[in-house]
Amino acid sequence: MKLGEFVNENHFPIWGLAGSAIGLVFILTPQLFYTGSLGEPYSMFNHTVSELGELGVSELAWMFNVGLMLAGVLFTPFMIGLGLYLDNIVGKIAAVGGVYSSVSITLVGVYPMNFIVEHSIAAMSFFLSGMVMTLLWALAILAQREIRINRLLSLGGFVNMTIFALFLYGPWGGFGLDPRPEFSMRITLEWAIYFAIVGYLLLLSTYVWRKERAGESL
């Protein structure tokens, strides 16, 4: 397979579908087996996403961290392909942001929270680039001259950007894990980001994949 074929319209949606599947299975499964340092079960309302990858605490930390690395690698050709598919300057800029965001999420897996400095830098890089990236995807979809993706799907990008912004700039304070609260808005929004971004990338991947397959059958 030639290099360009990895990111053409027949292949880039597959990378997005695979990355989404990995992101769902490898990140959600470790919750089922998690036991915290105080013997508590995992809760999306007061345990950060990254705690699932904490070595020595999370039973399936390896699965979580490998999942982040694989998802980041798989989403890279998807981002490039989607930017080329939309065929406008905003889409190409969004693709650059998407690759940066994918590399950042890979590094979050490479450096779990045991390596707190490196982990924090990688995580913040993902949050900031993710907010910009999803806004750019929404604008790129709206800016299409030839409609290849339904413009209504731009709404998903704006929803994602809003959740990122609320997480980053909302008046929620820190994560506050000592003592651990029963409910943390910041942690809940972090999980909202996870479901929103994976859901949006899965939606875009599925839409293009089905559209191109339908075109091939005509």
From 141, 129, 122, 67, select the one nearest 98 (Cα to Cα).
129
pTM flag (> 0.85): yes
Is the separation of the CB atoms in 182 and 45 below 8 Å? Answer: yes
8 Å CB contact between 57 and 36:
yes
- pLDDT at position 1: 59
As a whole number, mean pLDDT of residues 86-95 equals 96
What is the per-residue pLDDT for 177?
Answer: 78
Asked if residue 16 is part of any domain, the answer here is yes
* Domain assignment of residue 96, given as a range: 3-212
Is residue 174 included in any domain, yes or no? yes
| Residue-level pLDDT at 80 | 96
Structure confidence by residue, pLDDT tens digits, 56-66: 999 999 999 99
Residue 196: Cβ-neighbour burial (10 angstroms; 0-12, 13-18, 19+) = buried
Q: In the block, which residue shows the tokens 């990008």?
A: 157
CB 18 within 8 A of CB 70: no
Q: Within 10 A of 150 (CB to CB), how many other CB atoms are there?
A: 11
Structural domain contains residue 218? no
How many domains does one find in the chain? Answer: 1
Residue 142 pLDDT > 80: yes
Q: Does residue 217 sit within a domain? A: no
CA atoms within 13 A on the CB side of 34: 27
